[in-house]
Structure 1
């Protein structure tokens, strides 16, 4: 009998995001993901030093070797790495060691998000994002800008503005199903994002209510996401409005991990996702000539 979690050839990859099991080292994440049936992992190579996060540094020699060994042993791919943060005093060159390692182990994407305290720093965000893209390009990675609903960039439109203004060929936008809900993004807005900017999708579910405080949103995002199908999110509607993409399951839930352990929690994340998505596929079409945005050519690609 075939494994029901196995991904058929030509289908989207399913990757396990590090935040789902934030206490695991990158090597442990790889072994758990392999046993649970994933195709890939999305390790955190730039730590945030949040509660429960693994130690030591993923860039330590011993950790790097352990990660290499785990990937070689399991055959898993690396979909993306995280997390490059734009802060007031950030130096994009500090991301280079993680980008170099990410490239070596096969990553194609790096996630970035903005955490500056003011709302009048658009030019700064554009400059930092653009410089990071330039560094990442040397290693063959895209830089996918995310919009956590409690960060500096809270909406799809704000994020698209920064990526468009930076105008780098390896730019991208990371859509997270939870943040679509928390930021009250109309799913029709996804159709306004050029297909070549969307490379993969972060997956989790939640209940319909939206926390009315920043602390409440953070608690939900980092500790209490639900399995796909348990909550309110319209996954079919999202998938149909995106280009064909890979899926990265980012689903931290402290109570589930305490009850089930790392491996079973990871396995149920994947099982619920595949069951909930079913036959949902991209329904995007090429626009007619009259619908072309001014900065796109007739293939839906950005003009440079």
Structure 2
């Protein structure tokens, strides 16, 4: 079965939204992911919020190409979380027809994080998108079991989700059994890349790899065959490969096509 494939923000981060949409269409992806909210103050992002002309241009590109917006980034649940901080992101997600928003758990108090995740799901309900909690080993949601626990303790809201990133699967204590234990209703998409697997990395090393030194699928030793066999056969896959050194040698279109070719043996 052919899975729907999305060009993740990190694979096309050099492009503004309208170019990312056109690039996805040109290189064979059916969807695109956009980072319209930075992952840290002042960090890189794609500019679309508060820019009506750019939004109209992006919407026109979506109509013209048939590409859809799959996910938007990023909401971080911190100790001072207020779900209305991201009202502009919800609004633009609805305008773009986005399916999901990526959520990170940045609170070491799991009870408070769980309560705030439930508040987020409630705030997002009118906008038709899922709140996909991504486990990352340097955050308050370190592995797949923790993500499932948070979602269940939040009451398993109807728009709840768990995002499985191959990188974080390979660098956390998560097992294939943990992945299989995630209910299908909570799985909306997964992300593919590769890297050196293991749980011995420092937080700085984990973050560096995630943000700028991922490997093409097949160039590392994460069990990608096992992971994507454990996930539903029809689950959409976001191709998320950023490697600043490699990207310096390839224009965005070549890199996007290269990432797709490398992913197909695992998800095609």
Give yes or no for the alignment of 1:44 onto 2:25.
Answer: no
Match of residue 220, structure 2, among 219, 231, 243: 231
Contact 1:26/1:58, CA 8 A, preserved across alignment: no
Q: Who is 1:95 aligned against?
A: 86
Choose the corresponding residue for 1:262, options 221, 243, 252: 252
Quote the offset at 1:30 in angstroms: 0.9
User: How far does residue 174 in structure 1 lie from its aligned partner after superposition?
Assistant: 0.3
8 Å contact from structure 1 (residues 23, 54) kept in 2: no
User: What SS is found at the alignment partner of 2:238?
Assistant: strand
2:140 equivalent in structure 1: 152
CA distance in 2, matches of 1:23, 1:141: 25
Larger relative CO (CA 8 A, sep 6+): 1 or 2? 2
RMSD after superposition: 1.9
Contact map agreement 1:39 1:76 (CA 8 A) in 2:
yes
TM-score (norm 1): 0.82
Q: What TM-score do the two structures reach when normalised by structure 2? A: 0.92
Partner of 2:206: 217
Given the alignment of the two structures, is residue 132 of structure 1 paired with residue 148 of structure 2, yes or no? Answer: no
For 2:199 and 2:255, locate their aligned partners in 1 and report how far apart those are by CA, in whole Å: 24
In the alignment, which residue of structure 2 is the partner of 1:200?
189
Deviation of 1:49 (Å): 4.7
Contact persistence 2:49–2:92 (CA under 8 A):
no
- What corresponds to 1:301 in structure 2? none
Give the whole-Å Cα distance in 1 for the aligned partners of 2:88 and 2:46: 17
Judge conservation of contact 1:80–1:111 (CA < 8 Å) in 2.
yes
Out of 152, 172, 177, the residue aligned to residue 188 of structure 1 is 177
Do 1:22 and 1:52's aligned partners in 2 also have CA atoms closer than 8 Å?
no
Unaligned runs of 5+ in 1: 1-9, 279-304
Unpaired stretches in structure 2, ≥5 consecutive residues: none
Structure 2 Cα separation of the partners of residues 28 and 253 of structure 1: 19
Determine if the alignment matches structure 1 residue 162 to structure 2 residue 150.
yes
**C-alpha separation between the residues in 1 aligned to 2:93 and 2:46?**
18
Partner Cα separation in structure 1 for residue 130 and residue 207 of structure 2 = 26
Distance 2:169 2:266 in 1: 18
Q: Distance in 2 between matches of 1:111 and 1:50?
A: 17
